[in-house]
Structure 1
Amino acid sequence: MDATKTVTRWPYLVVGVISMLFAGIIYAWSILKAPLAAEFHWTPAALALNFTIMMCFFCVGGVLSGIMTRGMGVKAPIITGGILTFLGFFLTSRMSGASTTVLYLSYGVLTGCGVGMAYNAVISGTMSWFPDKAGTCSGALMMGFGASTLVLGTVASSLIQSIGWRNTYVVLAVAIGAILVVTGLIIKLAPADAQFPGPTKTKAKRGEDFEPRDYTAAEMTRRS
């Protein structure tokens, strides 16, 4: 990969961070559950169980994403994750009964699995372009995911106050689903023959030349 092509890898990181920012909204459950408790009078234990289910299927989604990535690349799991996340939020917005079953199946299973699939694939795809900056890349992605509760959680709270929780869930369904689908169309694994910048070599000062070879303990003793 030449110098010009190397520069084009940065958009993948930008797209990855944005997608993680939207996907991380599931951790704003403390904000999103409040109107559900008020309308359906569900107990804190019942709502906490939904978060537990969501986390379990988040892990399941990550495993499925890894399997799909090995055979199909990252596009399929990211787009599938976006569709599942859309369905999860949208179906949650349509709840009408007092039973928590729909909540567990929609937000818990569908949304949890969808975000887990997208999360794993976005990380895999984005980091494949930054083998020389793995720490920077993973840190930026985690920053986006972690900041979601603060950024989008605040937005969601305002939307709930202005347009109601049902419409807020629909807005989140469309926004997150669209972002993840678009991300799936953009992010891809780096080619196997891609060449990335290596570590910067420092030129040795005069008198500091060294031989690029390893020595045994006996050889080092004789040379000292």
Structure 2
Amino acid sequence: MTLTLTPACSAFIRRRWVCLIASMVICVCAGFGYAWSVLQNPIVTRFGWADSGVALAYTITVLCSTMAPLFFGGLIRRLSTRMGVVVGAVLFGAGLFATGMMDQLWQLYLFYGVIAGLGVGFIYPSMMAYVVRLFPDRSGMASGLGTAAYGSGAILWAPAATALMEGVGMSQAFQVLGVLFAAVILAGSLLLSDPPEGFQQGLAPAAQGAAGSGADLRRGQMVRTGAFYQMLIVFTCGLVAGVIVISQASPILQQSLSYTSSRAALFVSVFSACNMAGRFLWGSLSDKLGLVNTAGAVFLLCILSMAGLALTGAELPVLILMGIAASCYGGLASILTPLTARMFGPRYITENYGVMYLVFGLASLIGPSLATSFKTMGGGSYTGAYVTAAVLAAIGLVLSRFLRPVPRKGE
């Protein structure tokens, strides 16, 4: 049974599709970070910096993007969705533009890692909470589409960045992309509107109950629960496998399969497509299968893909298994928002998801470090990283079976 909606809410039901499309365009631009693996080797080649030192820039940008909602949560809450995206667009574009002027490693960390990373931290978590607020009746679908758009960034940007670097040079490529992303995100922000009062409560209350049966906790209350730390461990363990593939795909393919940089860049886009497909597929299925059951299926695929990569070096199986791992990363990303709403209630999803987004930073701290460390110790082999990722995914699978919503008072 659906409650009677106010005229403003009824009108917004039609407008929300425009808002969703604008959000997806914004997320596609913000997803440029997924093209990192095609940037790493050219930066190493040009400046002669160590692989591990350059790879750290990816970790820094993800950490900054995930920490932004923690440090700037109060500011983000006070800003409208649109203004939060505007701030993010300026930081993101400026960070990339300044990266084009770097000549020292610390500048890569500051411009690409910190400034551009903070920009993404203002944009992506807000967009993910926003699309779920747009579609409280289909949160899995909305989250899947939003995360799919974000994950699809490398499909377009990996070959585009490679072509730009070959055509105009690395410095100008970063500057062109910085201006482009800032302009498109700012234009998209003009189409965003916050849902009217009572929209979430008035639309499909039965669906809301299924998606968010936990108590409505604010972030300060949420972080004092055991369920929060359980989710933090579960998703961090599960995301490591995908982070290894997404952040290190080009170096892995060049090292393991002797691919050229341009051929490796093509498969970075392919894996990005797998990431995107996983987000939409698993996000949509979660509305039917349930969030915890969907998470369990994704964890099993994570384990199998990493174990397979540890056991084989044949070209076709390696490509398939890396694609599966990328799709699992997307699947976990798509269910994180609605599962956060289910565990801790939907009312404060914007601030709560901003905190839970930390799992991507933790996984990105672990994944590239595992890959580069085991590559160095193993004479170029990534087998140790794959085995470790499989073990972590198994831990995540076991712990995910015990996820329960925080009960409301009196329950």
Q: If the length of structure 1 is used for normalisation, what is the TM-score?
A: 0.81
1:2-47 deviations in Å (ceiling 9; x for gaps):
4454211101111111111111111211112232212111110111
Match of 1:14 in 2: 21
2:95 alignment partner in structure 1: 88
**Does 2:186 correspond to 1:181?**
yes
Between Structure 1 and Structure 2, which shows a larger proportion of helix residues? 2
Q: Which residue of 1 aligns with 2:203?
A: 196
Distance 1:67 1:86 in 2: 23
Match of 1:125 in 2: 130
C-alpha contact (below 8 Å) 2:76/2:122 kept by paired residues: no
Instruction: Tell me the distance in 2 between the aligned counterparts of 1:82 and 1:147.
Output: 18
Q: Name the structure 2 match of 1:207.
A: none
1:38: which partner in 2?
45
Which runs of no fewer than 5 residues in structure 2 stay unpaired? Answer: 1-5, 208-411
- Aligned residue in 1 for 2:379: none
Distance change (3 Å), C-alpha of 1:74 and 1:66: farther
Structure 1: distance between partners of 2:155 and 2:35: 8
Matched letter for residue 33 of structure 2:
I
The equivalent of 1:50 in structure 2 is 57
Higher CA-based Rg: 1
Tell me the alpha carbon deviations over residues 142-193 of structure 1, each in whole angstroms, 9 at most, x when there is no partner: 1111111122212211222222211211111011111222233322321113
Give the direction of change, closer, same or farther, for the CA distance of 1:5–1:113 in structure 2 (3 Å limit).
closer
In 1: Cα distance, 2:165 partner to 2:55 partner: 20
Structure 1 position 124, deviation (Å) = 2.4
Contact 2:69/2:76 (<8 A) preserved: no
With over 3 angstroms needed to count, the CA separation of the structure-2 counterparts of 1:130 and 1:189, relative to structure 1, is: same
Alignment partner, residue 106 of structure 1:
111
Write out per-residue CA displacement over residues 38-80 of structure 1, whole angstroms, 9 at most, x where no aligned residue.
2111110111111111111011223356433322221222111
* 1:166 counterpart letter in structure 2: S
Partner of 2:152, secondary structure, is helix
CA distance in 1: counterparts of 2:71 and 2:185, whole angstroms:
17
Where does structure 1 lack aligned partners over 5 or more consecutive residues?
201-224
Q: 1:76 aligns with which of 83, 107, 132?
A: 83
Secondary structure of residue in 1 paired with 2:134: coil
Task: State the identity %.
Answer: 26
Pair 1:51–1:5, CA change in 2 (3 A): closer
105-114 or 143-152: which moved more? 143-152
Q: Does 1:135 align with 2:143?
A: no
Does the 8 Å CA contact 2:40/2:55 hold for their aligned counterparts?
no
Aligned mates of 1:23, 1:16 — CA distance in 2: 10
Corresponding position of 1:147 = 152
**RMSD of aligned C-alpha atoms?**
2.0
> Who is 1:157 aligned against?
162
**C-alpha displacement of 1:199:** 6.8
- Once the two structures are overlaid, the 10-residue window that deviates more, 150-159 or 18-27, is 150-159
